[in-house]
């Protein structure tokens, strides 16, 4: 088999980002995936840090934090690169690292992110005269009446109107947002007709579940041209149409760039020679197969995705290259006494430590493989959930590793 310039192991946000950056610079890239990746579970927004000004907070982080190793130049470039990739698929994103954009959740709270799909940008709600909240008959896990009541707490001076519509999908069977988005792709007129019946004006906003198709903003554009009011999609429980739109935007870009995809490919170990990785081994029903590469990016995720395992307490493992995994020693440091306290959790900081080029290092800081780079949820040293930095670290580390 021909040696790839780069093999990316993992097809989540970090893996697709790394492959896209490398391919855009002329590298011959192979992506090995096992599973659907992380994006179908994601909101579609990219959280960089839980701060009103993420860029300022990131610049103050300690040297051992992944962001500090990545560098702000790469963080900023990664944000721009993602926005450009999405725009190519008619999936406009809005935002900047110096501020946060509000989005409406499926239960009527506000979630803030630095980068958000334009269809979910709720920053203009405060300027609207009337807010329509639209539910869909038979739609599971979207509680439009609860959403309406909760959203009133944020905008007590606004007039709200709740409306439930029947799109007559699947003969009355309960459906998910993903079902509805797929059914509305290239069939947007039933929704447009129901929304036009609201008689909303240009001074109003219409909040709907995220059902405007699965291909960029094409479905939204069709509906939007028939209404005067602003249409705002909410977040939803997985599978998430906005997350899948972003996934498909990456995949279309990668296919056009000639990137090779091998799905359902479980990488079981690396092939190494001294401090060089020369390839990876993929499990097969018949025999194992070696994929040779000049460089490898490990984007297999953390505990939740199987990129890290721990069969014995205090002994986490990275299963492909057997890399050393940082772990807070002692049960008392594993989690807080109050699991839902407003503090980082020790177990969430578990991961692989790297140098500034994202090469894995041992406890003494020695580089183990100088052409292997670790990205995304595999990285240790911070609680990405507490910081709300997982998306930002994923795309920024992927960008830095692809450019290294």
Statement to judge: residues 161 and 305 lie in one domain: no
Instruction: Answer whether residue 287 is part of any domain.
Output: yes
Span 205-229, average pLDDT? 97
- Say what the pLDDT of residue 321 is: 98
CA 296 to chain centre: 21
Q: Give the phi and the psi of residue 270 in degrees, each rounded to 5.
A: -95, 160
**Cα–Cα distance measured from residue 367 to residue 104, given in angstroms and rounded to the nearest whole number:** 44
Helix (H, G, I), strand (E, B) or coil at 291: strand
- Say what the pLDDT of residue 303 is: 87
For 88-117, the pLDDT digits (tens) are 999 999 999 999 999 999 999 999 999 999
Statement to judge: residues 73 and 192 lie in one domain: no
- Say what the pLDDT of residue 72 is: 97
Statement to judge: residues 251 and 372 lie in one domain: yes
Instruction: Answer whether residue 176 is part of any domain.
Output: yes
Pairing status of strand 6-9 against strand 29-32? parallel
For 127-164, the pLDDT digits (tens) are 999 999 999 999 988 988 999 999 999 999 999 999 99
Best CA proximity match to 39, nearest among 400, 395, 397, 402: 395
- Say what the pLDDT of residue 187 is: 95
Instruction: Answer whether residue 237 is part of any domain.
Output: no
Statement to judge: residues 79 and 129 lie in one domain: no
From the CB of residue 352, how many other CB atoms can be counted at a distance below 10 Å?
25
Instruction: Answer whether residue 99 is part of any domain.
Output: no
Best CA proximity match to 307, nearest among 294, 319, 295: 319
**Prediction pTM value:** 0.96
- Say what the pLDDT of residue 181 is: 97
How many domains does the chain divide into?
Answer: 2
Statement to judge: residues 255 and 115 lie in one domain: no
Q: Which range of residues forms the domain containing residue 116?
A: 106-231
For 232-255, the pLDDT digits (tens) are 999 999 999 999 999 999 999 999
CATH value at residue 312: 3.50.50.60
From the CB of residue 307, how many other CB atoms can be counted at a distance below 10 Å?
23
31 compared with 337, residue with greater pLDDT: 31
């Amino acid at each position: 088999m021909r040696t790839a310039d780069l093999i990316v192991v993992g097809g989540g946000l970090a893996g697709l980002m790394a492959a896209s950056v490398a391919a855009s610079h002329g590298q011959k890239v192979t992506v090995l995936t096992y599973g659907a990746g992380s994006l179908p579970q994601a909101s579609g927004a990219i959280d960089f840090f839980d701060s009103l000004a993420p860029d300022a907070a990131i610049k103050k982080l300690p040297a051992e934090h992944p962001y500090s190793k990545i560098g702000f130049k790469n963080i900023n470039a990664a944000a721009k690169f993602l926005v450009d990739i999405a725009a190519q698929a008619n999936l406009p994103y809005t935002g900047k690292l110096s501020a946060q954009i509000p989005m409406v959740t499926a239960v009527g709270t506000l979630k803030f992110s630095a980068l958000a799909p334009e269809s979910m940008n709720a920053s203009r709600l405060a300027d609207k005269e009337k807010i329509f909240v639209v539910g869909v008959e038979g739609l599971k896990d979207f509680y439009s009446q609860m959403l309406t009541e909760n959203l009133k707490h944020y905008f007590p001076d606004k007039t709200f109107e709740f409306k439930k519509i029947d799109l007559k999908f699947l003969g009355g069977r309960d459906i998910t947002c993903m079902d509805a988005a797929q059914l509305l792709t290239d069939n947007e007129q039933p929704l447009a007709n129901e929304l036009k019946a609201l008689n909303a004006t240009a001074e109003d906003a219409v909040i709907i579940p995220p059902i405007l198709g699965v291909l960029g903003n094409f479905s939204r554009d069709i509906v939007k041209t028939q209404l005067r009011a602003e249409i705002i999609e909410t977040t939803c429980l997985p599978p998430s149409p906005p997350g899948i739109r972003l996934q498909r935007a990456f995949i279309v870009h990668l296919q056009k760039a000639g990137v090779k995809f091998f799905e359902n490919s479980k990488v079981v170990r690396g092939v190494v020679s001294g401090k060089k990785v020369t390839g990876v081994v993929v499990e097969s029903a018949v025999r194992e197969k070696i994929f040779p590469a000049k460089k490898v990016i490990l984007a297999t995720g953390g505990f939740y995705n199987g990129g890290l395992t721990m069969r014995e307490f205090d002994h986490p493992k990275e299963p492909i290259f057997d890399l050393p995994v940082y772990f807070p020693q002692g049960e008392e440091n594993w989690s807080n006494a109050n699991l839902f306290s407003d503090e980082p959790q020790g177990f969430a900081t578990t991961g692989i430590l790297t140098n500034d080029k994202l090469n894995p290092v041992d406890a003494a800081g020695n580089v183990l493989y100088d052409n292997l780079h670790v990205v995304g949820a595999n990285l240790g040293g911070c609680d990405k959930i507490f910081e709300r930095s997982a998306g930002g670290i994923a795309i920024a580390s992927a960008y830095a590793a692809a450019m290294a």
